[in-house]
Amino acid sequence: MKSLRVLTGITTSGTPHLGNYVGAIRPSVQASLRSEVQSFYFLADYHALIKVGEPERIQQSTLEIAATWLAAGLDPERVTFYRQSDIPEIPELTWFLTCMAGKGLLNRAHAYKAQLDKNLAAGADPDHDVSAGLFMYPVLMAADILMFKAHQVPVGRDQIQHIEMARDMAASFNHLYGPHLVLPEAAIEEQVATLPGLDGRKMSKSYDNTIALFGPTQTLRKQIASMVTDSRKPGEPKATEGSALFEIYRAFATAEETRALAQAYAHGIAWADAKQMLYERIEREVAPMRESYERLMADPGRIEDILRAGADKARRLSTPFMHELRQAVGLRRLGQSLKPAQAQTGGPKALLPGLKQYREEGKFYFKLVDGQGQLLLQSRAFDSPRAAGELVARLKQGDDSVLLEYAECLEPVSAPQALAQALQALREAAEAGPT
């Protein structure tokens, strides 16, 4: 059973390099293959607007990062893979959280404080180059996380503070409106490598020392040839310690291959030969992915379709959940009772929605219909009645992930209200005991 929800996003502001691949993309694709994990991966394009004012770059980066993730093996059937700006509930939740977040809390956020400190050091106005978007960055990020009830968010150390802030906002919301939001935790991957760049410093766009992940193979060869090494001659033993070349090799190689290179260093391998080994080793892992990357890049329409399908899936959760949150804060239909939940369960039985299990041509299904008999959810086919029955039970117990894994939502976006209400009524009835 997939009980742990893990969510992560990448800001669509640049072209993925080897450091991104080793530090973020490869481990997150590996994590998505764990059977107990339900993963959410998204392209943080609203976040990109905070620092990038070039529309073409945003679009291009979105395409490149999506293609990279897919080429690296992310399976959109298995995970929920979407674009932030396709989920209108995220900016809506951002506003709810904006009203929860203390300004003093946001004053301490790193991204904003870094700019502030820079301004102060330069003797400039403290607000110079600070958009309200930069200031609100952690709130948008909290909405990303809280919308999908993520338990864990794998991030680099620099992002831990943002996860803590998301927890704070969720706790304030829950305190005021009831336990609706799940408090997330940062998942720090200790053993994930930070890759050195061409000059030996951490590989980073801001140092201009990156190696593109999917550049042409000749570029990869040339970039590796240009790596900084010491001046030891062929035949002279070389130190692995502090060798960026060695570190990058290690990030791609098996333990055995790494030991072999260490031996070669000790035996005085020429730098040119070591570079050739590094090039070949990276190429071995990257070349097959580069092929699918190029195929994907040549077909942006296909990526668009994948992201749309991912957004549909994501919205099966976000639309009813946002409806629940709107009810919680008091954004309600005026005709409704002030306590809509109680009014519903107390209402006539005929109006209750129903979860029905049935059999058709040797397969087993379940469906959810509202009080008027309108079909809201239709499951896939199952081989055994037990498989369908277990999901029905989980759905009744409040496990929304069933909506993602096994059900096909009909009209998920046009009837979110009906779906949210039906689920709520169903769960309250389940809590009240068997009927």
Q: Which residue carries 């929800």 as its tokens?
A: 5
Q: How many residues bind ligand TRP (CB under 6 A)?
A: 13
> Which amino acid, one-letter code, is at 236?
E
Site for ligand TRP in 168-197 (CB under 6 A): none
Determine the Cα–Cα distance for residues 11 and 44; give it in Å rounded to an integer: 4
User: What dihedral angle (degrees, nearest 10) is formed by the CA atoms of 218, 224, 226, 229?
Assistant: -160
Cα distance from N-terminal residue to C-terminal residue, the chain: 27
Regarding 11 and contact with ligand TRP (CB under 6 A), the answer is: yes
Regarding 93 and contact with ligand TRP (CB under 6 A), the answer is: no
Regarding 87 and contact with ligand TRP (CB under 6 A), the answer is: no
Which among 31, 69, 26 is positioned nearest to 252, based on CA atoms? 26
What is the layout of strands, in order, in the sheet containing 375-379? 354-360, 363-369, 375-379, 407-409
DSSP code of residue 33: T
DSSP code of residue 21: I
Determine the Cα–Cα distance for residues 142 and 149; give it in Å rounded to an integer: 10
Of 7 and 244, CB closest to ligand TRP: 7
Structure tokens at 337: 């009772």
Regarding 141 and contact with ligand TRP (CB under 6 A), the answer is: yes
- Minimum distance between the CB of residue 273 and ligand TRP, rounded to whole angstroms? 37
Regarding 44 and contact with ligand TRP (CB under 6 A), the answer is: yes
Regarding 48 and contact with ligand TRP (CB under 6 A), the answer is: no
Of 141 and 220, CB closest to ligand TRP: 141
Specify the DSSP element, H or E, that contains 176: helix 160-177
* Nearest position to ligand TRP, beta carbon: 9
- Minimum distance between the CB of residue 205 and ligand TRP, rounded to whole angstroms? 12
Regarding 401 and contact with ligand TRP (CB under 6 A), the answer is: no
* Residue from 70, 79, 145, 415 binding ligand TRP (CB under 6 A): 145
* Residue from 100, 146, 153, 165 binding ligand TRP (CB under 6 A): 153
* Per-residue contact flags (x/-) with ligand TRP for residues 272 to 291, judged by CB under 6 A: --------------------
Regarding 144 and contact with ligand TRP (CB under 6 A), the answer is: yes
Regarding 8 and contact with ligand TRP (CB under 6 A), the answer is: yes
Determine the Cα–Cα distance for residues 23 and 419; give it in Å rounded to an integer: 39
Residues that bind ligand TRP (CB under 6 A): 7-11, 44, 47, 141, 144-145, 153, 155, 159
